[in-house]
Structure 1
């Protein structure tokens, strides 16, 4: 586990609790997303993977996708191989209520390079979610 691993696990557990809180049930899926600074198979994400659906996987995003490439001039290379050249930006979800069917129609990296350089050291994750009642 990484530096502050216990803290990061606790933070992920809080996010998992928020993402599954019945008070958030409603007409839309509950979504937890962002720069979570953890690779998809990281133990840090386990609390989220245990209770939410990874939209990247559900949308058949590329298994080798990288959202923090070492080739970007601003890449924090000191972060090491646990973060650099990994997909560390994520979208997790769950249906907004038990009769809701959610599908992920696509999962891809977005953004266009400007003069060969992407504007941010993180590539944006785009997951196209659709939902309806059964």
Structure 2
């Protein structure tokens, strides 16, 4: 088992690291967020090649994923979607399950579902933070802390970048989202070093002017507000009328461009992609 782990880690170390100079968009970092609906498209059909092609078209260095199955069940072929998609795209993967249940049979992997992060850059560290949630797996859920806010640190041209993938509560009542926003800000505050770069992406399940999201905007820049054109609608994919999927960054990151990718087949959400320029200064330099 330990030998297999060592082989896998060595394989990850051989994955290509992108070069900003070689990328067509010219920015330091291209990031994307995508609620993949467990691999089921707007037609309700699980189609892994279609989803993989959609992710590849984003041409992103880092992708925050939501609604990710990891050996969850028949609906996604019992696959580890985070690992499978990462391998197909030549990216490292880090899964942050919201739910982790015993396997259906002895010796099988655990059934997990939640969020994930894919990265072309080596992942220096990762942690799955807790956040208050109302479970979708019980008939009468009670708000309680649970996992499912993954954070990874990657080093981009010598700059440590903290990346988070989140999925806020979907219910009309904003009470739980309000708590979740406060908890996310507390997590981000713990990474507020002098030169910390933070990128929080995900499905916020609320409009930009929703009162429960207001505490985010003094701390983070909404990429769409900074560089987007038009309403930036992301849901539902076939005929979007809501902007609920976000890329947000710490203030010292410049948003060069951002767009919603018009890919209405691979999920019930549309992906958002942004080109970013990272702050220079101190020991930070292109490596």
> Per the alignment, in what secondary structure is the counterpart of residue 265 of structure 2?
coil
> Per the alignment, in what secondary structure is the counterpart of residue 10 of structure 1?
helix
Could you list the runs of 5+ residues in structure 1 that have no partner in the other structure? 73-83, 96-100
Could you list the runs of 5+ residues in structure 2 that have no partner in the other structure? 1-170, 282-287
Partner residue, 1:64: 231
User: Is structure 2 residue 266 aligned with structure 1 residue 119?
Assistant: yes
Partner residue, 1:16: 185
Higher relative contact order (CA 8 A, sep 6+): 1
> Per the alignment, in what secondary structure is the counterpart of residue 127 of structure 1?
strand
Partner residue, 1:35: 203
Q: 1:20–1:30: 8 Å Cα contact kept in structure 2?
A: no
Distance in 2 between the 1:118 and 1:26 partners?
A: 42
Q: 226, 232, 241: which is aligned to 1:85?
A: 241
Q: How far is the alpha carbon of 1:126 from its aligned partner? A: 0.7
How many residue pairs end up in the alignment?
A: 111
Distance in 2 between the 1:88 and 1:9 partners?
A: 15
Bigger CA radius of gyration: 2
Partner residue, 1:128: 275
Partner residue, 2:85: none
> Per the alignment, in what secondary structure is the counterpart of residue 50 of structure 1?
coil
Q: 1:15–1:32: 8 Å Cα contact kept in structure 2?
A: no
RMSD between aligned residues:
2.3
Q: How far is the alpha carbon of 1:8 from its aligned partner? A: 1.1
Change (3 A) 1:119 1:37: same
